[in-house]
Amino acid sequence: MLDFILPLLGRLHPLLVHLPIGILIFGILLIFMQKKNSTGFNPVIRLAFLLGAISATLAGISGFFQYQFEGFAWESVQNHLIAGVISSIGSFYLFTRIKDETIFTSNIKLQVLALFLVLTVTGHLGGNISRGEEYLIEVLPAEIQAIAGYEAAPEKSLEIPEQGWEELVFYGEVVQPILNKNCKSCHNPRNLKGEFNLTTFEELLKGGENGEVLKAGNPELSALFAKMILPLEDEDHMPPKEKRQPSKEEIELIKSWIAAGASQNTTLGQAGVDEKLLEPFFHKEEIPFYPLTEVAAVPADTLSKLRSAGFFSETVLQGSSWLKVSCINFPGFTDSDWILLKSVKDQIAYLDLSATQVTEEILDSISSLPNLTVLKLNQTGISGRNLEALSNCKNLKMLYLNSTQLSLENLSGINQHPNLQKVFAFQTPAGESKNPVKFSFELETGNYSLPKIPADTIVY
Ligand code: HEC
């Protein structure tokens, strides 16, 4: 029942460690701030070292439980633990040395500085365990990383072009990037774990301390692959279990490369790689949600006019010219109020006329908005009879018609719209209809969601 206490104490370690650090540094500072030959701060300094020593010990105990229950490797924690114990003992020792009448000689100040140093080292080693050794280095500019002896530029994830991937060289353009990302930090000329360097093809062929790691045509007998599929718990598993693991597809690709002969120059096409394996790496162009065309920004006084007319209006993103206009505070909006919006018809990208008095005819006016991307007409009297008018809004992607009289039949008026992705029709006759009809867009009704017809889909 109380089994959780020790693991919990272990997990409190990252929190507890800040107590001794704070308290001891406070005490150390006081020693250096105290005037020569004065002893005024001494009671406080003693208290700081006592509390510091106690909290350092508690932190050490919790750290030990964390090590026990969270599966850290002994090699990775041992230095941190030793430094932590020295910090605790050092604090107790200084507590006993410092009396209320002690004058701080340079001898004591040196000891105090030594404690500060050990404390810093302990904290730093602890940070390396929880954040990884490269945590601080990673954010430095590449040139400084190079001076510090670290690899410039962090390894990028593998990216494969969707068109023409068959021409990529399997080893150089696929396998090596995967090895660089997952293995190189421990197997490079400077860090030769297992005496194994996998940063070039020649070195890879040489293998490590136990000989060759590749057997062309036989992945299972190739240590390079075989070690990656050992159970995570196995101490020979690569990369070691506390490290980020390669994805399933990355491992599969290494396997197919070895199966196809582990040669340096074969292309993906020649090796007959299944396109499915590559899909997760395909480079996808992000298509922005709002239109790419440029329009002039709306002048500030036009915006304030809109606001005083009762509209909520602002740009969709800071620095964008696209406007979001909503009638959330303008429920009395009717078709004839459209005239108020004419001056910004090119900029409106998001229009919310929900819960207003508009009728079917408003769609004719809306059709004059070339850049409209999101249209909300929830809780209006619209049945969709005139939805066809929206075909003119070529950029429309999202259409909301929840709680309207929209029928399935009327929805077909905008079937085949070139960009429309989703129509929301919760609580509508269309949503309640039991006869699913397929449209070129996704219909969200809360009951079921109809998939798009693949042939009609624009694939990005
Ligand atoms: C965190 C460091 C680290 C990472 C990352 C790492 N390895 Fe290792 N690797 C080691 C250590 C340490 C050894 C030596 C183990 C031993 O001798 O028991 C080793 C040994 C090996 C060996 C055996 C070499 C020999 O001849 O004994 C192979 C093969 C290997 N690693 C492959 C990989 C592959 C493939 C990856 C990436 C998917 C990888 N390693 C990532 C630390 C790492």
Q: How many other β-carbons are positioned within 10 Å of the β-carbon of residue 265?
A: 10
- Compute the average pLDDT of residues 315-325: 88
Give residue 177 CA to ligand 1 midpoint distance, Å. Answer: 17
pLDDT digits (tens, 9 = 90+) for 324-354: 999 999 999 999 999 999 999 999 999 999 9
Tokens of 95: 């507590």
Please tell me the predicted confidence (pLDDT) of residue 453. 47
pLDDT band at 450 (very low <50, low <70, confident <90, very high): very low
Average pLDDT, the chain: 88
pLDDT digits (tens, 9 = 90+) for 225-273: 999 999 999 999 999 988 889 999 999 999 999 999 999 999 999 999 9
Q: Of 229, 187, 225, give the one whose Cα is nearest residue 209.
A: 187
- Interatomic CA distance for residues 359 and 433, integer angstroms: 23
Please tell me the predicted confidence (pLDDT) of residue 457. 40
CA distances, 1 to each of 4, 5, 6, 71 (Å) = 7, 9, 12, 22
Residues sharing a CB contact under 8 Å with residue 371, sequence separation 6 or more, in sequence order: 290, 291, 293, 295, 322, 346, 347, 348, 349, 395
Please tell me the predicted confidence (pLDDT) of residue 143. 59
pLDDT digits (tens, 9 = 90+) for 285-308: 667 788 888 889 999 899 999 999
Q: Which amino acid is at 162?
A: E
Q: pLDDT exceeding 90 applies to what percent of the chain?
A: 64
Better-predicted residue by pLDDT, 456 or 75:
75
Q: How many other β-carbons are positioned within 10 Å of the β-carbon of residue 140?
A: 14
Ligand 1, residue 225: give the atom nearest the CA: 35
Residue indicated by tokens 């005496």: 195
Tokens of 348: 């409106």
- Interatomic CA distance for residues 346 and 295, integer angstroms: 7
Burial class (CB in 10 A: 0-12, 13-18, 19+), 43: exposed
| Contact between residue 375 and residue 399 where contact means Cβ atoms under 8 Å apart | yes
pLDDT digits (tens, 9 = 90+) for 168-185: 999 999 999 999 999 998
Please tell me the predicted confidence (pLDDT) of residue 317. 81
Tokens of 390: 């929206």
pLDDT band at 1 (very low <50, low <70, confident <90, very high): low
- Interatomic CA distance for residues 163 and 140, integer angstroms: 35
Region for 42 from its dihedrals, namely left if φ exceeds 0, alpha if ψ lies in -120 to 50, beta otherwise: alpha
pLDDT digits (tens, 9 = 90+) for 177-206: 999 999 998 898 878 889 999 999 999 999
- Interatomic CA distance for residues 306 and 312, integer angstroms: 8
pLDDT band at 456 (very low <50, low <70, confident <90, very high): very low
Q: How many other β-carbons are positioned within 10 Å of the β-carbon of residue 444?
A: 18
- Interatomic CA distance for residues 406 and 212, integer angstroms: 69
Residues sharing a CB contact under 8 Å with residue 110, sequence separation 6 or more, in sequence order: none
Q: Of 453, 336, 438, 358, give the one whose Cα is nearest residue 405.
A: 358
Angle at 419 (CA atoms; ends 414, 423), nearest 5 degrees: 55
Q: Identify the weakest region by mean pLDDT among 118-127, 135-144, 353-362.
A: 135-144
- Interatomic CA distance for residues 32 and 323, integer angstroms: 60
pLDDT band at 379 (very low <50, low <70, confident <90, very high): very high
Give residue 77 CA to ligand 1 midpoint distance, Å. Answer: 19
Cis, bond preceding 331 (omega within 30 deg of 0): no
Ligand 1 atom 3, closest CA:
186
Q: How many other β-carbons are positioned within 10 Å of the β-carbon of residue 337?
A: 20
CA distances, 207 to each of 215, 226, 253, 254 (Å) = 11, 14, 19, 16
Angle at 426 (CA atoms; ends 421, 430), nearest 5 degrees: 80
Best probe residue, ligand 1, of 178, 180, 196 (max atoms within 8 Å of C-beta): 196
Residues sharing a CB contact under 8 Å with residue 360, sequence separation 6 or more, in sequence order: 381, 382, 383, 385, 386
Give residue 186 CA to ligand 1 midpoint distance, Å. Answer: 7
Residue indicated by tokens 């500072």: 29
Best probe residue, ligand 1, of 227, 241, 249 (max atoms within 8 Å of C-beta): 227
- Interatomic CA distance for residues 34 and 116, integer angstroms: 17
Q: How many other β-carbons are positioned within 10 Å of the β-carbon of residue 442?
A: 15
Please tell me the predicted confidence (pLDDT) of residue 140. 67
Burial class (CB in 10 A: 0-12, 13-18, 19+), 339: exposed
Please check the confidence at residue 163 and state whether its pLDDT lies above 90: no
Name all residues whose Cβ lies below 6 A of ligand 1.
Answer: 182-183, 185-187, 193-194, 196, 207-210, 213, 223-224, 227-228, 238-240, 243, 246
Better-predicted residue by pLDDT, 88 or 152:
88
Q: pLDDT exceeding 70 applies to what percent of the chain?
A: 90
CA distances, 428 to each of 8, 29, 169, 401, 431 (Å) = 51, 71, 55, 8, 5
Q: How many other β-carbons are positioned within 10 Å of the β-carbon of residue 330?
A: 18
Give residue 264 CA to ligand 1 midpoint distance, Å. Answer: 21
| Contact between residue 404 and residue 380 where contact means Cβ atoms under 8 Å apart | yes
Ligand 1, residue 196: give the atom nearest the CA: 24
Better-predicted residue by pLDDT, 93 or 36:
93
CA distances, 300 to each of 103, 293, 344 (Å) = 69, 21, 12
Please check the confidence at residue 82 and state whether its pLDDT lies above 60: yes
Give residue 350 CA to ligand 1 midpoint distance, Å. Answer: 54
Give residue 72 CA to ligand 1 midpoint distance, Å. Answer: 18
